[in-house]
């Protein structure tokens, strides 16, 4: 796994968050960013599937339902590579703190569930650098469902894994698809040592834990930013 199992040598720190849809990880990372900025730290925030390089192709593929599991995986890997080279590594070289909402582990979970061989997708992302801290916000399916449906009328097609034809009912498809991703995350946590956060706790309780762990990271020897 080369880079993902070896500490990077950049002066900055990379903090990433993983979790199924509705886990609350984005809220936690935004709160962490605001807290770090209030301390006068230099912070850069980046999100999964946000590179303009492949956005048009991904959108068109979803619209026409023409994305195979392998094509889906390759598009996301291209997106990730673009963000890594232009949004993640440059700030790290400048000694900044980079916060990434989703990282390569998202692909390890989603792509594997969609039918891509787990070893193949790990080889695909072997260029990814190892995060300094990787959080996994673990939440039961029913809790994530309740959160998502409380803020919007319906679930998204690919979010619910409807492309896999697991069920004609979008809610049941979500349960099945995201449930399988949860199983993959359990393997990823053990394989890569992600820090598990109980995402059923209150927002403030989770944030306190995230801040404590982040503070320890930044106070480590040679780790002050």
CATH number of 2-214: 3.40.50.300
Structure tokens at 123: 């080889």
Q: What pLDDT, on the 0 to 100 scale, is given for residue 124?
A: 95
Q: What pLDDT, on the 0 to 100 scale, is given for residue 108?
A: 97
Mean pLDDT per 10-residue run, the chain (225 residues)?
Answer: 85 97 96 97 92 76 78 91 95 97 96 95 95 97 94 87 93 95 96 97 98 94 49
Strand runs labelled E in the chain: 13-18, 43-47, 97-101, 133-138, 195-198
Q: What pLDDT, on the 0 to 100 scale, is given for residue 225?
A: 52
Other residues' Cβ atoms within 10 Å of the Cβ of residue 218: 17
Q: What pLDDT, on the 0 to 100 scale, is given for residue 223?
A: 47
Write down the domain spans for the chain: 2-214
Tokens 């301390």 found at: 39
């Amino acid at each position: 796994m080369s880079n993902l199992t070896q500490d990077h040598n950049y002066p900055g720190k990379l903090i990433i968050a993983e979790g199924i849809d509705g886990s609350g990880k984005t809220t936690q990372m935004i709160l962490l960013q605001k807290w770090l900025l209030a301390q006068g730290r230099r912070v850069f925030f980046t999100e999964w599937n946000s590179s303009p390089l492949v956005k048009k192709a991904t959108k068109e593929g979803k619209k026409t339902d023409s994305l195979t599991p392998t094509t889906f995986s390759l598009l996301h890997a291209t997106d990730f590579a673009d963000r890594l080279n232009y949004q993640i590594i440059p700030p790290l070289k400048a000694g900044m703190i980079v916060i990434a909402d989703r990282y390569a582990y998202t692909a390890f979970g989603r792509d594997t569930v969609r039918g891509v061989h787990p070893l193949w997708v790990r080889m695909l992302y072997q260029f990814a650098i190892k995060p300094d801290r990787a959080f996994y916000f673990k939440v039961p399916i029913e809790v994530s469902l309740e959160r998502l449906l409380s803020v919007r009328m319906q679930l998204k097609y690919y979010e619910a894994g409807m492309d896999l034809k697991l069920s004609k009912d979008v809610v049941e498809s979500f349960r099945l698809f995201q449930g399988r991703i949860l199983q993959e995350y359990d393997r990823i946590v053990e394989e890569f040592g992600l820090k598990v956060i109980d995402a059923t706790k209150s927002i403030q309780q989770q944030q306190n834990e995230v801040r404590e762990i982040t503070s320890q990271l930044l106070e480590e020897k040679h780790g002050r930013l």
